[in-house]
Homo-oligomer: A and B are copies of this chain.
Amino acid sequence: MTPVNLKSLAKELNMSIATVSRALRDSHEVSEATKQRVRALAAARHYEPNAYASSLRRNISKTIGVVIPKVANHFFALAINGIEEAARQAGYHVLIYLTHDDYEREVSIVQHLKGGRVDGLLMSVASSTQDFAHLRGLKEANIPIVFFDRVCAEINTAKVTTNDYESGYQATEHLIRAGCRHIAHLLISNNLSIGQFRQQGYLDALMAHGHAPDPGLILHGVMDNEQNVALIRELLLRRPDIDGIFASVERLAISTYHVCKELGRRIPEDIKVIGFSNLEAAALLDPPLSTITQPAYDIGREAAKILLRAVEKKKAVLPGQSVVLESALFARRSTAG
């Protein structure tokens, strides 16, 4: 099995390696006749350039890395879809890394990536991440980074998010208008900016409509879903006055459904529910779940395009622009007045 590379092609064609290389890259400084011969043989031999040799020489990998907490989550799956699309169109490859929301793993991944395996990085930070030293080093490594959805405020670079504050406000206002007087807010307890924005929207909407925020109505969920179910059950039993729930995370909305069924609390008659969710089947739930749905595909695509633009220009540092795409509110029977 003789290897098919520039050298073997050049030998068979009786020309230099450089000429073959130029011909295949369609250089203007090579005759059309030569190009034809080279291309013909390359096709016949099924020549494929060695990506690593090329990367090493040009110091460009034509690869971007995507670091996300998880992939078994409709939001991230759709985002990857958008990222892959943008990357493919630009001739880039996509490396996937999952942090599982683990800080150590995130650090390890990012550290490794500084070795030059990727030309740029797309990232949604892990919820457990608080120290961002590992991200600062990227600038020195000449690797631009674009955050999407779960951004890191401390790093000055491009960010693509959704209008989380407004969405939280709208969701809460929607419940208020549907007649809810005691609206609980379920969120995952971490230091992610999106959670904070959504919560602030919730709080401000309450205030704007003359409802006094009640700390006892805010439930901080955890990673383990079993525990969340227990926490929600406890909350609903402790506060039977709750007549509305705004879940900041899809999983908490789903768990709310389970608990309500268990406790015999009817949705939406007893409690109205709305949640952040990208669940396709939300409309088919029993009852249908009202949702705030993020344009996940567009977020991924937009973030990738911004990154690739920077990569092409060899800009290691991106301007701290913040692109905000809008989520959509789908009111369904779960919040019917």
A196 CB to closest chain B CB (Å) equals 27
Q: Which residues of B contact A112 (CB under 8 A)?
A: 48
Please give the count of copies of this chain that the complex contains: 2
Which residue of B has the minimal Cβ distance to A279?
Answer: B281
Q: Which residues of B contact A288 (CB under 8 A)?
A: 286
* A61 in contact (CB, < 8 A): yes
* Bound Cα distance from A281 to B74, whole angstroms: 12
Partner-contacting stretch, out of A65-73, A160-168, A318-326: A65-73
Q: Which residues of B contact A254 (CB under 8 A)?
A: 280-281, 284
Q: Is the CB of A114 within 8 A of B72?
A: no
Cross-interface CB contact of A48 among B77, B115, B281, cutoff 8 Å: B115
* Bound Cα distance from A197 to B2, whole angstroms: 41
* A11 in contact (CB, < 8 A): no
* Bound Cα distance from A52 to B63, whole angstroms: 12
A10-34 interface bits toward B, Cβ cutoff 8 Å, 1 = contact, 0 = none? 0000000000000000000000000
Q: Is the CB of B117 within 8 A of A93?
A: yes
Q: Is the CB of B98 within 8 A of A81?
A: yes
A75 CB to closest chain B CB (Å) equals 10
Which residue of B has the minimal Cβ distance to A61?
Answer: B52
A121-150 interface bits toward B, Cβ cutoff 8 Å, 1 = contact, 0 = none? 000000000000000010011100000000
Q: Is the CB of A116 within 8 A of B284?
A: no
A54-69 interface bits toward B, Cβ cutoff 8 Å, 1 = contact, 0 = none? 0110000101000000
Cross-interface CB contact of A96 among B70, B78, B94, B257, cutoff 8 Å: B94
* Bound Cα distance from A115 to B51, whole angstroms: 6
**Chain A residues bordering chain B, tally (CB within 8 A):** 53
Which residue of B has the minimal Cβ distance to A297?
Answer: B72
A265-293 interface bits toward B, Cβ cutoff 8 Å, 1 = contact, 0 = none? 00000000000000111101111100000
Q: Which residues of B contact A73 (CB under 8 A)?
A: 77
Q: Is the CB of A98 within 8 A of B115?
A: no
Q: Which residues of B contact A71 (CB under 8 A)?
A: 71, 77, 80-81, 84
* A53 in contact (CB, < 8 A): yes
Q: Which residues of B contact A80 (CB under 8 A)?
A: 71-72, 96
Interface residues of A (CB under 8 A from B): 1, 46, 48-53, 55-56, 61, 63, 70-74, 77-78, 80-81, 84-85, 88, 93-98, 111-112, 114-117, 137, 140-142, 254, 257-258, 279-282, 284-288, 297
A-B residue pairs, 7 tightest by C-beta? A48-B115, A286-B286, A52-B55, A51-B117, A52-B56, A52-B52, A72-B77
Would you list 10 pairs from A and B whose C-beta atoms are within 8 A, ordered by A residue? Answer: A46-B140, A48-B111, A49-B115, A52-B117, A71-B77, A71-B80, A85-B98, A88-B97, A93-B97, A286-B288
